Amino acid sequence: MKKRLIELLDQLNHGLVERDDALKSAVLAVLAGENLLLVGPPGTAKSLLARRVAKCLAHDGRAGDLGEYFEYLLTKFSTPEEIFGPLSIRELKEDRFKRNTLGYLPTVRIAFLDEIFKASSSILNALLTILNERKYHNGSISEDIPLQALIAASNELPTGQEELDALYDRFLVRSFVDYVSEDNLPLLFASSGEMPEPRRLDASELRDIRQAAQAVTLPPDIVSAIQRIWAEHKQTFKEDRRENLSDRRLKKAVGLLCVSAATNGRSEVDLSDLLLLKDCLWNHPDNVIKVRELVMNTLRVFSRPVPLTGQTTESSSDAKARPTSAPPAHRTGAKPNAVAKGYKGSGTEQDPILIETLHDLAGLERQDVGQQGYWFRQTADIDCRELTTWLKIDFQGHYDGSGHTIDYTCSQWVHLFDNVQNKSHLANVRLKGLGLAKAVSGSEIAACVSDVQLLGSASDSSISYCQSGGKLIWSAIKCTIAHCQSDGCLIRNDVEQCTISRCRSGHVLVGGEAKASRIRDCQAQVDGVWSRIDSDSREDGGIARALTEGCIIECCFVSGNPSTENNVTVRFSGIAPRCDASTITRCAFGAFKPKGGYVRQDLGNRITCGAGNFWALEGAKLENNVALDCHQGVSEPDGRDGKSLSAALFTQHYFEHTLGWDFKTVWQWNDEQRQPELRAVGVQAVTDHQRHAAPEENMGDLLSEQLRANLWL
């Protein structure tokens, strides 16, 4: 069925320009039996889209073409007779009010009403039951109608007309159709010829889709993601009266997701299906982008690294994100077509601006150089130690350090960049004595190294294969962090709505609170020192100080030999001392031997703490966790101490077959330490990956892979 639908979409899209998304939304709405609203200025092919979509269904033989499609342009003077059919004179003679509906909206399978919000109240009221229950009240009789979908269009949305809210809410899918962009205007000039007759879907195929959708299930993480999207929507638009979500919309949206899964050949809804909510959760076009970002940010929280399949084709955006020693195009002998005065290179990916000297680097302070989205490549080590005042660089663009070093070893602690702005990409940068960026937003950081803290605050960014000689990041919001390594905390303070995977820290993983985040396959080797800066007395855990707002911690390992400064007391729990409405599953607490100071593990539980100590478990879910039996506690796999395991059974066999850890691509066993450890992380992981990894072992992002496979996206 998926191949069949891809072919049909290609046929229906013949000759259209920049209408792929709207067409897919419309066809999916038809298959789900839902209604679609097209919003956009005049002359944007809204009527043509509706006629194309009507061609996706085969004739059912009921009344020839009369039973297939109906369209009408509504005005404030339109009457119900024009839409629902004229009154039957014969029935009136018998004192019965009945319309002759054949060929009108109540008898067709697809209808298109243009300028729907200009219709009279008598028409709009009759449409309410048609749109929702698929029933038409013909006189005293309520008739079932064969309508599969009603497509409506409007140049503008009603404002200040609350009586239209009920009608508007019945359009589950909304698609904004704008004018063709300037870059694609030439495509409108080309003659594409007539659209070939598409191979339409017949009644049996529609029935198969409906039955398959009814069998689709929603996994627990998908349910959690939908709940979070709904909650985030209410919070984001709490001051915007135009935006609200009804229970009806939730129910119908879930049905749409199930149809998407079924037509993609799946028995479960996945993360990619949830992106379809971007067209279901906005009421005003001003909020289209906000809703899309809200949905995407939530989906990133639930995504995780996964092995790529042999059939997966890497997209261009993924190729840019993947760290390399230097992109092949950058190593070609590009001509020095200078785009900025004093530089070589035109600033494109194939012909980047070359950073060869300290003066080239300092020139990035210029707005016409460092904030224009150009591509840069560093070609040599740069010694900055003679600078007495550091640079102030706000950067937007693509910087490939090519593995060369920037050295600013001095008493000052500064960052190479002050602010890294949206859609930037930094890779293969080596730093001595300075961090990479004070703040980064909406960007990708890959294979960068510093001997001090690498990043300050990070938001909406992807950070991978990086490492630092201290803390890696100060704080993170809505980030994906993978394959990274730090000698200190991975994140010093709080993390929120982040996905962290396959990372290793030399102290606690998260020094603050983890909120609404997913942490999987991480190792905290807690060998650091707690200082008075942290406070004279504190509670801490190997993964985080607190887990709140639905965190999920999976397959993480904590061990170490920490110490404290004099008079500092730390109460330590293996994973986290506080676990509110969060999940800890298949985690392990190994050997933990404080070597100085006052680290009091006996006052904290082996996995997490609860009533009777200093934190209470509030809605926590603990499943199948273990701890070495050298730690005091009650042996209960689903309790706050985890299952007690003797050293003789604390082996790879137990972790692999009882806890279900991946020892093929993620973990390996350290025979000397008698504990699991992550395979190569940081820049070493890139090197090992390029040298040894087979194609089927390449790792990708779960959400990206699912989006690539979804025919509706």
pLDDT at 615: 44
Residue 249's domain comprises 215-303
Asked whether residue 619 is assigned to any structural domain, the reply reads: yes
pLDDT at 613: 40
pLDDT at 688: 56
Residue 287 pLDDT more than 70?
yes
Same domain, 279 and 336: no
Weakest mean pLDDT among 78-87, 245-254, 564-573: 564-573
pLDDT at 600: 44
Residue 143 token pair: 């008739």
CB 582 within 8 A of CB 621: yes
Q: Which has more pLDDT, 314 or 202?
A: 202
pLDDT at 701: 75
CB 508 within 8 A of CB 489: yes
How many other CB atoms sit within 10 Å of the CB of residue 186?
Answer: 10
Asked whether residue 309 is assigned to any structural domain, the reply reads: no
Q: What is the pLDDT confidence band of residue 63, given thresholds at 50, 70 and 90?
A: very low
Same domain, 346 and 269: no
Weakest mean pLDDT among 267-281, 456-470, 667-681, 683-697: 683-697
Average pLDDT over residues 697-708: 76
Average pLDDT over residues 302-321: 49
CATH number for the domain including 19? 3.40.50.300
Residue 334 pLDDT more than 70?
no
Same domain, 339 and 294: no
How many other CB atoms sit within 10 Å of the CB of residue 623?
Answer: 13
**Residues 111, 53: Cα–Cα separation, whole Å:** 10
SS (H, E, C) 277-317: HHHCCCCCHHHHHHHHHHHHHHHHHHCCEEECCCCCCCCHH
pLDDT at 657: 92
Half-sphere exposure of 239 (CA within 13 A, CB side): 1
Q: Which of 286-295, 603-612, 626-635 is the most confident on average?
A: 286-295
CB 654 within 8 A of CB 645: yes
CB 455 within 8 A of CB 463: yes
Q: Which has more pLDDT, 200 or 158?
A: 200
Q: Which has more pLDDT, 175 or 191?
A: 175
Average pLDDT over residues 119-139: 89
pLDDT at 611: 32
pLDDT at 324: 37
Report the share of the chain in percent with pLDDT over 90: 45
Written as one string, the DSSP assignment of 480-535 is EEES-EESS-SBSS-EES-EEES-EESS-SBSSEEES-EEES-EEE---EE-GGG-
Average pLDDT over residues 279-294: 88
Measured in whole angstroms, how far is the alpha carbon of residue 333 from the centre of its chain? 38
Single out the residue in 187, 205, 223 at which a domain terminates.
Answer: 205
Q: What is the pLDDT confidence band of residue 561, given thresholds at 50, 70 and 90?
A: confident
Measured in whole angstroms, how far is the alpha carbon of residue 689 from the centre of its chain? 25
Q: What is the pLDDT confidence band of residue 62, given thresholds at 50, 70 and 90?
A: low
Single out the residue in 303, 328, 352 at which a domain terminates.
Answer: 303
Same domain, 336 and 394: yes
Asked whether residue 167 is assigned to any structural domain, the reply reads: yes
Q: Which has more pLDDT, 421 or 221?
A: 421
Q: What is the pLDDT confidence band of residue 531, given thresholds at 50, 70 and 90?
A: low
Indicate the residue type of 70: F
Residues 6 or more apart whose Cβ sits within 8 Å of residue 514 = 494, 495, 496, 498, 543, 544, 546, 547, 548, 551, 576
- β-partners of residue 270 are none
Number of domains in the chain: 4
Residue 236 pLDDT more than 60?
yes
pTM across the whole model: 0.53
Q: What is the pLDDT confidence band of residue 120, given thresholds at 50, 70 and 90?
A: confident
Q: What per-residue string of b and e applies to 670-681 under the rule 16 or more CB within 10 Å gives b? A: eeeeebbebbbb
Average pLDDT over residues 30-37: 93
Q: What is the pLDDT confidence band of residue 84, given thresholds at 50, 70 and 90?
A: very high
Asked whether residue 290 is assigned to any structural domain, the reply reads: yes
Weakest mean pLDDT among 288-302, 432-446, 672-686: 672-686
pLDDT at 480: 94
pLDDT at 318: 38
pLDDT at 331: 33
pLDDT at 17: 87
Residue 383, classed as helix, strand or coil, is strand
Residue 315 pLDDT more than 50?
no
How many other CB atoms sit within 10 Å of the CB of residue 593?
Answer: 11
**Residues 27, 402: Cα–Cα separation, whole Å:** 46
Asked whether residue 705 is assigned to any structural domain, the reply reads: no
Same domain, 186 and 272: no
Same domain, 118 and 222: no
| Best CA proximity match to 28, nearest among 67, 56, 62 | 56
pLDDT at 495: 96
Same domain, 407 and 456: yes
Same domain, 97 and 180: yes
Same domain, 441 and 552: no
**Residues 300, 45: Cα–Cα separation, whole Å:** 34
Q: What is the mean pLDDT of the chain?
A: 83
Asked whether residue 342 is assigned to any structural domain, the reply reads: yes
Residue 221 pLDDT more than 90?
no
How many other CB atoms sit within 10 Å of the CB of residue 335?
Answer: 9
Asked whether residue 422 is assigned to any structural domain, the reply reads: yes
pLDDT at 302: 79
Residue 263 pLDDT more than 70?
yes
Asked whether residue 44 is assigned to any structural domain, the reply reads: yes
Sign of CA dihedral 554, 559, 563, 567: positive
CB 543 within 8 A of CB 509: yes
Single out the residue in 158, 174, 205 at which a domain terminates.
Answer: 205
**Residues 362, 343: Cα–Cα separation, whole Å:** 12
Residue 69, classed as helix, strand or coil, is strand
Residue 589 pLDDT more than 60?
yes
- β-partners of residue 70 are 111
**Residues 663, 660: Cα–Cα separation, whole Å:** 9
Same domain, 567 and 639: yes
Sign of CA dihedral 13, 17, 21, 22: negative
Q: What is the pLDDT confidence band of residue 605, given thresholds at 50, 70 and 90?
A: low
Report the share of the chain in percent with pLDDT over 70: 85
Residue 38, classed as helix, strand or coil, is strand
Q: Which has more pLDDT, 5 or 306?
A: 5
Same domain, 172 and 244: no
517-527 tens-digit pLDDT: 999 999 999 88
Same domain, 136 and 250: no
Residue 237 token pair: 């638009």
Q: What is the pLDDT confidence band of residue 592, given thresholds at 50, 70 and 90?
A: confident
Average pLDDT over residues 80-101: 88
Q: What is the pLDDT confidence band of residue 61, given thresholds at 50, 70 and 90?
A: low
| Best CA proximity match to 620, nearest among 582, 572, 573, 591 | 582
Residue 312 pLDDT more than 90?
no
| Best CA proximity match to 374, nearest among 337, 348, 340 | 348
pLDDT at 257: 95
